[in-house]
Amino acid sequence: MSEVQRRKYSQEERSVIFDGEFMPHIDSMYNFAFRLTFDEDDAKDLVQDTYMKAFRFINSFEQGTNAKAWLFRILKNSFINDYRKKSKKPATVDYQEVETFYNSDDVDYQSTSDLRAESVKDMLGDEISNALNGLAVDFRTVIILADLEGFTYEEMAKILDIPIGTVRSRLHRARNLLKDSLKSYAQSMGYGRDEEED
Amino acid sequence: MENKDASSPERKLQCSDVGKCFQLLERILDGELVEGGNEMLQEKLDQCQPCFAHFHLEQAIREVLKTKCTKQPLPDKLAESIRQMIQDAR
C-alpha cells in the first residue's frame, strides 16, 4: 500500500504485475463496483477507470504487497471522487450526515436483538442481498469489505482511510442495521418469532 | 467442547458487561485475534446466555453474507477491453 515507493518498473515488470497481480481480482472489483453503483455500465466504467489508474500509478505499488487492497482503495476513491459527483441517483442518505452520525469509536452494544440465528440461516440469498443493498453506502461498504471480501480491519482502515477503531464501530453499526432489516423480514415471513419457547 | 444447545441451565440470563463482551465476540468472529480470546470465548459461551445468543447470531450473519449473497457475473469482454486500453496506453 506504500505510496512513497518510487522505484521504476521496467515495461516487462509492469506487464507481469498487471497481469499476475491486478487482473486476477477483476471479479471482486466488478462485484464491489456493482454493489456501490447498482448499475452495470457504471460498474464497468468504475472498474475500467480503476485499472487505468492502477496502470498509471503502478510504480507506487510495491510488488508482493496486497494488490487487492491497493486496487480496492483506488476503486473506492474513484467512486467517491468521480462517480458520486456525476451520479444520477444521489445516495438516499446524505454522506456528511451519516459521517457525523457514526464517525466515532463509541458504540452502543445492546442485547436487544430478538432475531434468531436459525431464522438468519433459513433466509435466501436474495433476501440477504436486498438487506445489504438497502444499507447506506458507507455501511454497505464495510460489510462488503469484511464479510464478502474477507479484508482485515487493518486492510479496511487503509482502503477507507479511517482509523481501525472507526472500522470496528462502523462495521458494528452496519451489522446492527442489517439485523434490523433482516428482523423485519423474518417477522413479515412469520419465522422470527419466539413464542414456542415461552 | 462447545455447548450447542440454544439454552442451558448453567448459563446466566443477564450479561454483566454487554459492551465489552459483544465487542470481544465480534472481534474474534472477524478473525482479529485477541490475546487469550479463545479461552474467554469458551467461558462466555458456556456461562452467559446473551453472549451465547449474540455469538451465534453474529456468526450466522457473517456466514450467510459470505455464502449466499448473489454474485454479479463479470460482463463479457470487460477484462479484454481493459487489456486493450492498457495496450493502447503503452
**Per-residue pLDDT reduced to its tens digit, B22-56:** 888 988 999 887 788 888 889 889 999 999 999 99
**Does residue A101 belong to any structural domain of this protein?**
yes
Please give the biggest Cα pair distance in chain B.
70
High-pLDDT (> 90) share of chain A, %: 59
Of B15, B32, B82, the CB nearest to A111: B15
Lowest mean pLDDT, pick from A150-159, A181-190, B56-65: A181-190
What contacts A32, CB < 8 A, 6 or more positions away? A72, A75, A144, A149
**Does residue A198 belong to any structural domain of this protein?**
no
3-state secondary structure of A149: coil
CATH number for the domain spanning A73: value is 1.10.1740.10
Most confident of A118-122, A186-190, B5-9: A118-122
Domain positions in chain B are 18-89
**Per-residue pLDDT reduced to its tens digit, B58-77:** 999 999 999 998 889 999 99
Residues A64, A129 within the same domain: no
How many folded domains does chain A comprise? 2
What is the Cα–Cα distance from A196 to A52, expressed in whole angstroms?
Answer: 57
| A166 contacts in chain B (CB < 8 Å) | none
| B15 contacts in chain A (CB < 8 Å) | 111
What is the Cα–Cα distance from B60 to A145, expressed in whole angstroms?
Answer: 17
Alpha helix positions (H), chain A: 11-17, 26-37, 40-56, 67-78, 84-86, 95-102, 117-122, 125-133, 137-143, 153-160, 164-189
| B72 contacts in chain A (CB < 8 Å) | 30-31, 34-35, 40, 43
Q: Is the Cα torsion angle A82, A83, A87, A89 positive or negative in sign?
A: negative
Write down the pLDDT at residue B4: 57
Grid cell listed for B1? 467442547
- Rg (chain A; Cα; Å): 19
**Does residue A119 belong to any structural domain of this protein?**
yes
**Does residue A5 belong to any structural domain of this protein?**
no
What contacts B39, CB < 8 A, 6 or more positions away? none
Residues A80, A101 within the same domain: no
**Does residue A128 belong to any structural domain of this protein?**
yes
Structural domain of residue A82, as residue ranges? 11-86
Residues A74, A102 within the same domain: no
Grid cell listed for B6? 440454544
